[in-house]
Protein backbone atom coordinates (compact mmCIF):
# COMPACT_ATOMS: atom_id res chain seq x y z
CA UNK A 1 0.00 0.00 0.00
CA UNK A 2 1.36 3.39 -0.94
CA UNK A 3 1.95 5.98 1.74
CA UNK A 4 -0.94 8.40 2.17
CA UNK A 5 0.20 12.00 1.83
CA UNK A 6 -1.83 14.55 3.75
CA UNK A 7 -2.03 18.15 2.55
CA UNK A 8 -0.26 20.90 4.43
CA UNK A 9 -3.11 22.06 6.66
CA UNK A 10 -2.47 24.21 9.70
CA UNK A 11 -3.26 21.81 12.52
CA UNK A 12 -0.49 23.00 14.83
CA UNK A 13 -2.95 24.47 17.30
CA UNK A 14 -5.41 21.58 17.12
CA UNK A 15 -5.39 18.35 19.05
CA UNK A 16 -5.55 15.07 17.12
CA UNK A 17 -8.89 13.31 17.67
CA UNK A 18 -8.47 9.93 19.36
CA UNK A 19 -12.08 9.17 20.26
CA UNK A 20 -11.72 10.17 23.88
CA UNK A 21 -10.96 13.83 23.12
CA UNK A 22 -14.57 14.86 22.83
CA UNK A 23 -17.89 13.75 21.42
CA UNK A 24 -18.70 14.28 17.77
CA UNK A 25 -21.10 17.03 16.77
CA UNK A 26 -23.29 16.58 13.70
CA UNK A 27 -22.69 19.68 11.59
CA UNK A 28 -24.40 18.71 8.34
CA UNK A 29 -26.98 16.29 6.96
CA UNK A 30 -27.22 16.00 3.19
CA UNK A 31 -29.91 14.15 1.25
CA UNK A 32 -27.99 12.24 -1.43
CA UNK A 33 -31.07 10.45 -2.82
CA UNK A 34 -34.60 9.74 -1.57
CA UNK A 35 -33.23 7.04 0.79
CA UNK A 36 -29.53 7.88 1.25
CA UNK A 37 -28.12 10.58 3.55
CA UNK A 38 -24.64 11.77 4.43
CA UNK A 39 -23.95 12.86 8.01
CA UNK A 40 -20.92 15.06 8.68
CA UNK A 41 -19.37 15.31 12.14
CA UNK A 42 -16.63 17.36 13.76
CA UNK A 43 -14.96 17.09 17.10
CA UNK A 44 -16.60 19.35 19.68
CA UNK A 45 -13.08 20.48 20.65
CA UNK A 46 -12.03 21.08 17.03
CA UNK A 47 -9.58 18.19 17.08
CA UNK A 48 -8.47 16.90 13.68
CA UNK A 49 -8.96 13.40 12.29
CA UNK A 50 -6.33 11.15 10.77
CA UNK A 51 -7.56 8.04 8.98
CA UNK A 52 -6.96 6.01 5.84
CA UNK A 53 -9.40 5.29 3.03
CA UNK A 54 -11.51 2.27 3.97
CA UNK A 55 -11.41 2.81 7.71
CA UNK A 56 -14.64 2.93 9.62
CA UNK A 57 -15.86 4.17 12.95
CA UNK A 58 -18.55 3.12 15.38
CA UNK A 59 -21.29 5.44 16.56
CA UNK A 60 -22.82 4.93 20.00
CA UNK A 61 -26.43 6.10 19.99
CA UNK A 62 -29.27 6.03 22.49
CA UNK A 63 -32.44 5.04 20.66
CA UNK A 64 -35.66 4.74 22.65
CA UNK A 65 -33.67 4.31 25.88
CA UNK A 66 -31.43 1.57 24.49
CA UNK A 67 -27.70 2.05 23.90
CA UNK A 68 -26.96 0.84 20.38
CA UNK A 69 -23.74 0.93 18.41
CA UNK A 70 -23.27 0.66 14.68
CA UNK A 71 -20.18 0.74 12.51
CA UNK A 72 -20.00 2.84 9.35
CA UNK A 73 -17.30 3.32 6.75
CA UNK A 74 -15.92 6.84 6.74
CA UNK A 75 -17.03 8.29 3.41
CA UNK A 76 -15.06 11.53 3.54
CA UNK A 77 -11.55 12.06 2.26
CA UNK A 78 -8.66 11.76 4.72
CA UNK A 79 -7.16 14.84 3.06
CA UNK A 80 -9.86 16.93 4.77
CA UNK A 81 -9.02 16.31 8.42
CA UNK A 82 -11.44 18.71 10.10
CA UNK A 83 -14.55 16.52 9.66
CA UNK A 84 -15.64 12.96 9.00
CA UNK A 85 -18.68 11.96 6.98
CA UNK A 86 -20.63 8.72 6.97
CA UNK A 87 -23.25 7.89 4.36
CA UNK A 88 -26.00 5.35 4.88
CA UNK A 89 -29.10 4.06 3.17
CA UNK A 90 -32.50 3.77 4.81
CA UNK A 91 -33.23 0.06 5.31
CA UNK A 92 -36.64 -1.60 5.54
CA UNK A 93 -36.06 -2.82 9.10
CA UNK A 94 -32.97 -0.76 9.91
CA UNK A 95 -33.24 0.39 13.50
CA UNK A 96 -30.21 2.68 13.49
CA UNK A 97 -30.17 3.91 9.89
CA UNK A 98 -33.87 4.70 9.98
CA UNK A 99 -33.45 6.51 13.31
CA UNK A 100 -30.57 8.50 11.85
CA UNK A 101 -32.65 9.48 8.81
CA UNK A 102 -35.65 10.45 10.96
CA UNK A 103 -34.19 11.76 14.21
CA UNK A 104 -30.51 12.70 14.05
CA UNK A 105 -30.23 16.48 14.09
CA UNK A 106 -27.54 19.01 13.26
CA UNK A 107 -25.99 20.32 16.48
CA UNK A 108 -26.46 17.12 18.49
CA UNK A 109 -23.50 15.31 20.07
CA UNK A 110 -22.65 11.63 19.68
CA UNK A 111 -19.98 9.33 21.06
CA UNK A 112 -17.60 7.40 18.85
CA UNK A 113 -14.44 5.57 19.75
CA UNK A 114 -11.40 6.07 17.61
CA UNK A 115 -11.79 4.43 14.19
CA UNK A 116 -10.08 1.09 14.46
CA UNK A 117 -10.60 -1.02 11.38
CA UNK A 118 -9.16 -0.88 7.91
CA UNK A 119 -10.53 -2.66 4.86
CA UNK A 120 -8.50 -2.72 1.69
CA UNK A 121 -8.87 -4.19 -1.76
CA UNK A 122 -6.03 -5.76 -3.65
CA UNK A 123 -2.72 -7.22 -2.54
For 103, which DSSP code? H
Query: What is the count of structural domains for the chain?
Result: 1
Q: Does the residue 118 lie in any domain?
A: no
Q: Does the residue 123 lie in any domain?
A: no
Q: Does the residue 90 lie in any domain?
A: yes
Q: Does the residue 40 lie in any domain?
A: yes
Q: Burial, 105: exposed, middle or buried (Cβ in 10 Å; 0-12, 13-18, 19+)?
A: exposed
Residue partners of 43: CB distance under 8 A and separation at least 6: 17, 21, 22, 24, 25, 49
pLDDT of residue 120: 38
pLDDT tens, residue by residue, 44-75: 776 777 778 888 888 878 888 888 888 888 89
Instruction: Give the length of the chain.
Output: 123
Task: Assign residue 105 the CATH number of its domain.
Answer: 2.40.30.10
- Determine the structural domain holding residue 64 and report its residue range: 30-112
Q: Does the residue 98 lie in any domain?
A: yes
Q: Does the residue 122 lie in any domain?
A: no
Residue 31 has pLDDT above 90, yes or no: yes
Give me the phi and psi of 17, to 5 degrees please.
-75, 130
Mean pLDDT in residue range 81-110: 89
Residue 9 has pLDDT above 70, yes or no: no
Amino acid sequence: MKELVFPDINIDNLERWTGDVSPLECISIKDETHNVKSFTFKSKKDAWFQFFPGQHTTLFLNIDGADIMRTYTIASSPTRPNTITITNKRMQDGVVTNWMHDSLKVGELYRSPRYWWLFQCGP
